[in-house]
Structure 1
């Protein structure tokens, strides 16, 4: 009788720790980005960060690629305000891929001269010394409600938005700051 209870407890405990070990996804998760004017959310997000952190004295290290409309506008808005911003290092990802290929070939004694030249030409990406910065932009299922969460270091800023019938996006509440 006691063994099944202990087994169930250990199973529950291991599943709860597995949830802690997984990393959340970051980025833009809005399915229909063409029908949403993200500029309002972008401007509002940059304005809020500007009130909490002094521009020209704060450096952010973006920890994700920003290929979407919100990400591109967010990066541009932060730079326009005077923030120093180290973007997601795509070159560092490519360098790591090349170095792992080089490592594999060195240990298999198949070094190709052109591969050595590529590695020497690419300098390593600069290591960040700023505050890590992530964002999540998502949508409530089957509704015109959106949420942006900006993670800066250990704290997060979150705000909800709604889309009016005219297509205009307006804040649906106050900013929530979790320290």
Structure 2
């Protein structure tokens, strides 16, 4: 009984320690995603020099936000190492030590959208609000180091 309890506790703690990345907004517009990706790229350009920075994606970009973000970062001068998955849900990439890891979480709660960008150990967050068919920042970028 004790072993079973310990196993359950370990699985619960492991689940809390892993971060799920990606876009968790069910119905968001492609134009909004491009606007947000442009905003993120502008902020990253201010913090990390484009010509000398490589970003290694932590997760596959399987939606229009991820695609727009990767395209904007490349256009901005960043080298991007994309994360790809095989049909067996195992990563086909080999870990690389060059560059910085990059991941994002885009979610929504009570009409407020939130984008959190993870660059290595740094976290950037910004809230957005949907207003008359446009999406606009609802505040400043917040950076946690």
TM-superposed CA distance for 1:67, in Å, is 1.2
Q: What's the secondary structure of 1:37's corresponding residue?
A: helix
For each residue in 1:117-161, what CA deviation from the matched residue of structure 2 results, as whole angstroms up to 9, or x when unmatched?
xxxxxxx74542211111000011xx3210000000011100000
The 3 A distance-change label for structure 1 pair 83 and 18 is same
Distance 2:129 2:137 in 1: 6
Matched, 1:41 2:36: yes
> Which 4+ stretches in 1 moved above 3 angstroms?
19-22, 93-97, 124-127
Q: CA, structure 1 residues 162+21, in 2 after alignment: closer, same or farther (shift >3 Å)?
A: closer
Structure 1 residues 25-34 or 155-164, which shifts more?
25-34
Q: Is the 8 A contact 1:36 1:167 kept in 2?
A: no
Q: TM-score, normalised by structure 2?
A: 0.82
User: What count of residue pairs does the alignment treat as equivalent?
Assistant: 137
Instruction: Verify: 1:51 aligned to 2:43, yes or no.
Output: no
Tell whether 2:84 aligns with 1:137.
no
Shift of 1:20: 7.2
Go from structure 1 to structure 2 and tell me whether the alpha carbon gap of 1:35 and 1:145 turns closer, same or farther (over 3 Å shift).
Answer: farther
Unaligned runs of 5+ in 1: 1-10, 98-123
TM-score, reference length from structure 1? 0.67
More helix by share: 1
User: What residue is the counterpart of 1:18 in the other structure?
Assistant: 13
Helix, strand or coil: the match of 2:75? Answer: helix
Q: How does 1:71-90 map to 2 (within 5 A)?
A: 71-90=66-85
State whether structure 2 residue 142 is matched by structure 1 residue 173: no
Residue 35 of structure 1, CA deviation: 8.0
Bigger Rg, structure 1 or 2: 1
Distance of 2:89 and 2:127 partners within structure 1 = 37
Partner of residue 110, structure 1: none
SS at match of 2:67: helix
Q: Distance in 2 between matches of 1:34 and 1:80?
A: 22
Match for 2:115 among 143, 148, 153? 148
The offset of 1:34, in angstroms, is 3.8
